[in-house]
Structure 1
Amino acid sequence: MTDILSRGLPRRTFLQASAAIGALAAFGLLPSYAQETPIKVAAVYTVPVEQQWVSRIHKAAMAAKERGEIEYVYTENVANNDYERVMREYAEAGNQLILGEVFGVEDAARSVAADYPDVAFLMGSSFKPDDAVPNFAVFDNYIQDASYLTGMIAGAMSKTKKIGMVGGYPIPEVNRLMNAFMAGAKETAPDTTFQVAFIGSWFDPPKAKETAFAQIDGGADLLYAERFGVSDAAKERGVLAIGNVIDTQADYPETVVSSALWHFEPTLDKALAEVKAGTFKAADYGLYSFMKEGGSSLSPLGTFEGKVPADVMDKVVEREKAIKDGSFTVEIDDTEPKSS
């Protein structure tokens, strides 16, 4: 900035301008880009950034970039056997914070972090932080609060009381959301039964769609769309769906009743603050996905406004309030859900 301001200015004018800028900075009146150097952030994704889970990380990072807080680069569709290489390249490039999801490459990712102790790593993981790698923090989408609320809605909207559920893999970050959804459905419709299936992929819409078709053939009139492709099956067969992580109702206005939304912003904001302060350490950032932390929410009913029974929505509002004030806690159940 000094070079820009001093160019072509008399010394006295330049000194006056510099003093004015210093005063503005002292009172916090300058834009953030004039006060701080953006943090260099890189992300390594094993799936496309359009995929639900990763899209929320990408969205939060893009927002921080637009605010001038970070510089942001990323690589998508990285194979597990290539993940370590990409991580190392980003660490060597001088990035200060590296984001990603290491569910299939835990050991390799932690090994990279150990080799770059001055770089902060914040990774989606089913495991806990380890003090042996003090610069490797973990997070997960603990949106069981919002999932429980969508389950309450689903229980009321299913006429057959048979709900189909299609997930990627039966790992904790999927299991806890499914279990919370099932518990919510049982609150409003205790006789509800579930067909649970996993497709063995994070991104295979055709397989998810075919699995959902089979559940509809089995009597399900409402589907829990943990994966892309499920809502397509619901739309084609004229049944309802509940979304997960992102709100897809705009694409399925007559199909998706509601969704449990994940907001990665609180997680990223906390990490950036720690990097700025030089206090980033091995920690579990999972709590920043909780509803009371602003990390998750229930999507608006939108096109289904007025179609969900009013008494059920009253209960949903009560539960949401209780979750936020701490008087009701949604159980975190990471065990694999079963059909019933």
Structure 2
Amino acid sequence: MTNGFSLNRRHLLVSGVAVAGLGLVPKPARAQSAPVKVAGIYTVPVEQQWVSRIHKAAQAAQQRGEIEYTFSENTSNTDYPRVMREYAEGGAQLIVGEVFGVEQEAREVATDYPETAFLMGSSFMPDDALANFGVFDNYIQDASYLTGIVAGAMTKSGNIGMVGGFPIPEVNRLMHAFMAGVREMRPDARFQISFIGSWFDPPKAKETALAMIESGADVMYAERFGVSDAAKEKGVLAIGNVIDTQADYPETVVASALWHFEPTLSAALAKVKAGEFQAANFGLYSYMKEGGASLAPFGTFEGKIPQEALDMIASKSAAIKDGSLEVEVDDSEPKAS
């Protein structure tokens, strides 16, 4: 089920501060075997990159018979608490969404429904005083780092353009990881960085990217939709983020860092079914070693990426997966060079 609420995007100003902690939703008399009733609440269309990964994982779980899934998209931040209450009152056992713009209000709602599990995209950590509110984020810095190695090998000018939505942690950490990867191959690389102030404005993202290409960028980091369109139009390369868009840009998108929400959702569902849902940081399931991130297949660029880069990617990937390499998580705003 979808509801037609007015469109609004996550924004920079978040409220409420929480500290890391751990708590438990009270155990039911016995573990659950029936499908879990799951509701998704999204501030953007389910086609949007970030949310699409959550929606895809939930649909797959429903097809397997693990959950009963309903969702609302395009929910404004002002309406978000009401929709949360509506689903909780309606019997949802697990409510999934993203509360970057309504941190405090969402946590206040959760306190009124202690028997409902909430799994929310958040810039903050869980609070041990709010046992039923788990958090997650797209910690795919491992895969972003690997795409940076590709970009560093493919650039000729050493001038890299980067277009993001807002300079918040879930964007910043991926940009920093990408830049670190680029420097593995091109220590002298220069970066143009701009944020468009929107989560979904392809025309503005394209316009920003075109300006960077005019200023010499020959590889674009496409954190937002619209950047790859500019790269295609100007005949330069692009690096994808969260989803694989190479099928739409076969001569443009050379590599992408993919986010897989399935491990995060599976971990949360297991806890709900056992009556042991924890107010924990489920974002750890986005790490590559947990199966939450990967480097997309190179597809049309097979054989076009220098072997030196491929060898480095293979060795770095193995080190990430066995835990001997930890890609730095840097949430500070990246700066142009």
Alignment match, 2:116: 119
Q: Which structure has the highest helix share of the two?
A: 1
Which is higher, the Rg of structure 1 or of structure 2?
A: 1
**Does 1:109 pair with 2:141?**
no
**Does 1:62 pair with 2:59?**
yes
Alignment match, 2:141: 144
Alignment match, 2:179: 182
Q: Percent identity?
A: 74
Q: Distance in 1 between matches of 2:198 and 2:136?
A: 20
C-alpha deviation, 1:80, in angstroms: 0.7
Structure 1 segments unaligned to the other structure (5+ residues): 1-34
Deviation per residue, 1:53-93 (Å, 9 max, x gap) = 00000000000000000000001111111111111111110
Q: 1:290 aligns with which of 287, 290, 301?
A: 287
**Does 1:157 pair with 2:154?**
yes
Task: Provide the secondary structure at the position in 2 that maps to 1:73.
Answer: strand
Alignment match, 2:203: 206
C-alpha deviation, 1:152, in angstroms: 0.4
Alignment match, 2:234: 237
Q: Distance in 1 between matches of 2:297 and 2:199?
A: 26
C-alpha deviation, 1:39, in angstroms: 0.4
**Amino acid across the alignment from 1:142:** Y
Alignment match, 2:316: 319
**Amino acid across the alignment from 1:93:** G
C-alpha deviation, 1:136, in angstroms: 0.3
Q: Is the CA contact (8 Å cut-off) linking 2:146 and 2:181 kept in structure 1?
A: yes
Q: 2:268 aligns with which of 229, 253, 271?
A: 271
Alignment match, 1:50: 47
Q: Distance in 2 between matches of 1:234 and 1:115?
A: 48
**Does 1:223 pair with 2:220?**
yes
Superposition RMSD on alpha carbons, in Å?
0.8
**Amino acid across the alignment from 1:53:** W
Q: Is the CA contact (8 Å cut-off) linking 2:210 and 2:230 kept in structure 1?
A: yes
**Amino acid across the alignment from 2:277:** F
Q: Distance in 2 between matches of 1:245 and 1:252?
A: 15
**Does 1:335 pair with 2:332?**
yes
Task: Provide the secondary structure at the position in 1 that maps to 2:79.
Answer: helix
Deviation per residue, 1:286-332 (Å, 9 max, x gap) = 11000000000000100000000011101111100011011111111
Q: Distance in 1 between matches of 2:84 and 2:324?
A: 42
Greater relative contact order structure (CA < 8 Å, 6+ sep): 2
C-alpha deviation, 1:36, in angstroms: 3.0
**Amino acid across the alignment from 2:161:** G
Q: 2:249 aligns with which of 252, 255, 258?
A: 252
Q: 2:81 aligns with which of 84, 90, 112?
A: 84
Alignment match, 1:192: 189
Deviation per residue, 1:102-123 (Å, 9 max, x gap) = 0000011101101100000000
Deviation per residue, 1:198-219 (Å, 9 max, x gap) = 0111111111111111111111
- Structure 1 stretches (4+) deviating beyond 4 angstroms? none
Q: Distance in 1 between matches of 2:107 and 2:227?
A: 34
Deviation per residue, 1:119-167 (Å, 9 max, x gap) = 0000000001011211000000000000000000000101111000000
Structure 2 segments unaligned to the other structure (5+ residues): 1-31
Task: Provide the secondary structure at the position in 2 that maps to 1:81.
Answer: coil
**Amino acid across the alignment from 2:181:** G
How many residues get paired? 306
Task: Provide the secondary structure at the position in 1 that maps to 2:78.
Answer: helix
Alignment match, 2:278: 281
TM-score, length-scaled by structure 2? 0.90
Task: Provide the secondary structure at the position in 2 that maps to 1:337.
Answer: coil
